[in-house]
Structures are given as C-alpha cells and as structure tokens.
Amino acid sequence: MMDRPKDPTLKTTARSLALIDRIQERGGANLPQLAEDLSLAKSTVYKHVSTLYECGYLVKEGDEYHIGPKFLDLGEHARSRKVGYQFADDAVRELTDATDEEVDFVIEDHGRVVTISESYHKWVKHPDESDSNRYRARMGTYYHMHATASGKAILAELPRERTEAILDRWGLPANTDNTITDHRAFFEELERVDDRGYAIDDEEFTAGLRSVGMAVDRPDGPPIGAMSVSGPSYRITDEVIDQNIVPVLERTVESFERRLANDRSDGP
C-alpha cells in the first residue's frame, strides 16, 4: 500500500493567516471575537496576534487588532515588481481618458482576479443621484472570475482543465440574478467570449453595472491579466460597447502587448 503524500502546509502559519483574514473581514477584532470565529482557545489566538503585532503586521487600538501598514509595503512590492504590471498604470490612464469611464487592470491569482491598477472618472467623483450607491472597485480586492468581464476574458484563454479546476475550487456563486451559475451555460459563454475577443459583464457582478473586459496576452504563455471598462448600465449600452468602448479597448490592449513584447525583462 502506497503512503499518501504528506500535507506540506504548516498549521501554525495557516492559523496566523486565517486570523489576519478574519481581522480584515471584521475591520478589526478583539481576542474573544477571533477565538469564537475560528473556534480557537483565547490563549492560542493571543500567541498568534502577539507575534504578528511584534513583527509589525498588526496594530492594536484599544482591545482590537487591525491590519498594520506593513501590508501596504508588501502590497506595493507585489503590485510593482513586474515590469508588465507597471505598464498597466499607463494603459489604465489612457483608457480612462478615452472612455470617460471606470477602468481597471486585474491579474489572476489562485483562481480569482485581483485589482492591481484602477482609475475612476468623473461619474464616480461627481455621481448622479442614481449612482450614489454604486459599487466601486478597490486596489487589492479579489473577485470570483465567472462574474466579471475581466475574469471571463482570462478564463476564455486558459486551458480547459485549468478553468475546470478554478470552477471546482470556487464554484459559480450568484452575485445577482444575472450571474451565470450553470456549468454548461458558463462554458458556452466562454466560447462566445473567445469568438468575439472580449467579455461582457451584464450586471452579473453588481446590479446596474456593465463591464467590457479583454485579456492582455504575454508574448508567450497565459495572459498577464485583463483590462476592463465599467459604467452604469443605462450608459454602457450595446451600441456604446460596439462603437465606443471595444475599439479603444482593443487599441489600448494592443499597445500594452507591444510594450510587453519589447521588454522581456518581466520574465514568465
């Protein structure tokens, strides 16, 4: 009988990371809350958060622990360490100016997409009354891929087995009534994305918001990420998508890809 491979993860490290995640989700938490949330002894929680505090990863305000600014330094390092990610800032600004809409660039990370560059335009800074509660992306925010235009654009270019693995891990949870939650229907949607070269989020992530996303390809290998243009559904009509957004999105992505091809220092 063959021995099963041992789990290479360290439970203590995983526990510390789970505490960090919970502190972030709560917007700050005390020892009793963390102990109850994770079904741990308060003494165990205390040892973990004390270590994280002493190492600068947490700060303490009263009896609550909060995420420390050290994560800002780590996040900026992760965001800027690849040359291709630095190109994204220029591309996002160019596309924002060309469309007068919200633009972001995301990358795939462990089966979800995360925003690493974004730009908000005037409709966010000075919203109409109907836009006052509109959802807005945030740097470092993670999203399920199936419900976003950028995520679908990336998935359409990944090998089928990789896409299957992502869906097996994260599922197809419904954000709105428009979210595609059927496995077969979702793969049919990816075929449409592949045929036309871009993806549409038709109020699938947030009610009232439409997005158009396009993958940014490396010279070789999987996409480096995807760019998307988003705005309220009453403004992002099919006609606007076809005539205004897709042409400038294509030009911006092509320029981005040329910069990637000309600068091979980014690595795989």
- Mean pLDDT for all residues in the chain: 87
- Evaluate if residue 211 carries a pLDDT over 70: yes
- pLDDT digit string (tens) for 215-258? 999 888 789 999 999 999 999 999 999 999 999 999 999 999 99
CA distance 147 to 164: 15
- Going from N- to C-terminal start, the domains of the chain cover 11-68, 77-266
3-class secondary structure, 94: helix
CA distance 207 to 191: 24
Please report the pLDDT score of residue 76 as a whole number: 75
The one-letter amino acid at 4: R
Predicted structure pTM score: 0.78
Query: Which of 102, 160, 143 minimizes the C-alpha distance to 225?
Result: 143
Angle at 131 between CA 125 and CA 133, to 5 degrees: 95
8 A C-beta contact, residue 228 and residue 149: yes
Angle between helices 83-99 and 246-262 (to 10 degrees): 160
Task: For domain 11-68, give the fold.
Answer: Arc Repressor Mutant, subunit A (1.10.10)
CATH architecture entry for 77-266 = 2-Layer Sandwich (3.30)
Could you tell me the pLDDT band of residue 72, with boundaries at 50, 70 and 90?
A: confident
- Evaluate if residue 132 carries a pLDDT over 50: no
